[in-house]
Every structure is written in structure tokens, then in C-alpha cells.
Amino acid sequence: MIMSSVKIECVLPENCRCGESPVWEEASNSLLFVDIPAKKVCRWDSLSKGVQQVTVGTMAEETAPAVLERHQGSLYSLFPDHHVEKYFDQVDISNGLDWSLDHKIFYYIDSLSYSVDAFDYDLQTGKISNRRSVYKLEKEEQIPDGMCIDAEGKLWVACYNGGRVIRLDPETGKRLQTVKLPVDKTTSCCFGGKDYSEMYVTCARDGMDVEKLLQQPQAGGIFKITGLGVKGIPPYPYAG
């Protein structure tokens, strides 16, 4: 892999307060993402470069970005018949989740645990078991946030306050690659583009002072990374 071929560009200077949850929509060549505090769902057309916005929803506010009353969250599963099951509680911030390529392992991040965890996963029942940590973040990597998997089964994790995405091997627990961005509050990532060779990264600007915003004018934008030398896989649609 030739590291110097990696290119990072801000394709949408959106000024999201907290951009999150990017998903590639293949049928429209578009990136879907949300701005959580602004209560917006957005679609960015990669061909026309236009943005559609829908204002939705409500949520409890954090006292400050990533600062909240501890252990108030839970992990749920929504099944195709629309029933919901709670798997566990005492969660701080449920964040990145994905499945291994053979669907036998479920990967999950509770951000303030500073860990990427794995569970055994039963595709037929949706049950999870045998929780273990596959990677503990190092101090400079800061807070693990959103996550996606590539076509080689390696995990990519956006590091909030760390200004980077990191590539991990969940089998060995080793970090394989670090891609630094020109913004600190990277929140999530996904693969997209016509062959899923592009990575899209969301970020936030809430909690940054005026001086920091001047230093990082692209904070809150949508970034595209190319030249990673690896492709992603299409997202799975909800079966219900």
C-alpha cells in the first residue's frame, strides 16, 4: 500500500454541529448523514453536489459534547417483524457497530469505554454473546466513535477529538493504518462511490471555541478520502 497516494478533501463544507451516521445510497450516488443537535437528515448528491435536508426528531441534550450522565444508555435490536429487544444497559454512548463479513461476529463501540468490542453473533436468532475487547484505544487516539468494515474484514474507526480514522485488524488487535484529518472532532465513516473505494468521514464543530474554529475552518464538513488501497462493502438494507 502506497501511503502517499491517500488524498483527503472536504467535499461539503456543511458546518454540521455534529455530523454523524454516514451511509452510502448506491441507487442515487448519494451520501446520507445526520446533524444530531440540528435535528437534520441530509442527502448529498455526489454528482450534482446538491444537498437535501429534512428536519426531524428530538433527543436529550448532552451537557457538553461527549459529556453526559453516565450509564444511561442501552443496546437494542430491531427485528424484521418490527419487535424490539434490549440486549444490555449501563451504556454511556452506543456508537460504531458492524458485522464481520461472514456475519458470525458483531462489532460494537461504547465510546467512553475506549474500546472496540466483539460479540459472537447468531444470524438466525440475532442473539449476541461472549463479549470481548478487540482493541483498546491509545491516549492520542481519544474517543472511538463511528465505525465501518472494509472488504478485507478490517475495521475503520473514527476517533472523536483524535482527528483521525484508524484501521484495525480485529483478529490480531493491531492498528494497521492511521489517516489524520484537518479537523479534531471526527465522528463517523463509511465507504461509498461507484466501487466503494472512497471513504466518507463526518465531523463536528460543537464544543470548539472561536480560536479553534479559525484554526479548523472545515470543522463540521464532510470529507472524502481516496487512495486507501482498499474498498468497502455495500450497506445492508433493513429487512423489515
Closest CA to 113 of 132, 92, 128: 92
Q: Are 74 and 86 in contact (CB under 8 A)?
A: yes
Residues with a catalytic annotation lie at 145
Q: How far apart are CA 12 and CA 201, in angstroms?
A: 11
Main-chain phi, psi angles of 110, to 5 degrees: -100, 105
- DSSP per-residue letters across 52-77: EEEE----PPPSBTTB--TT-EEEEE
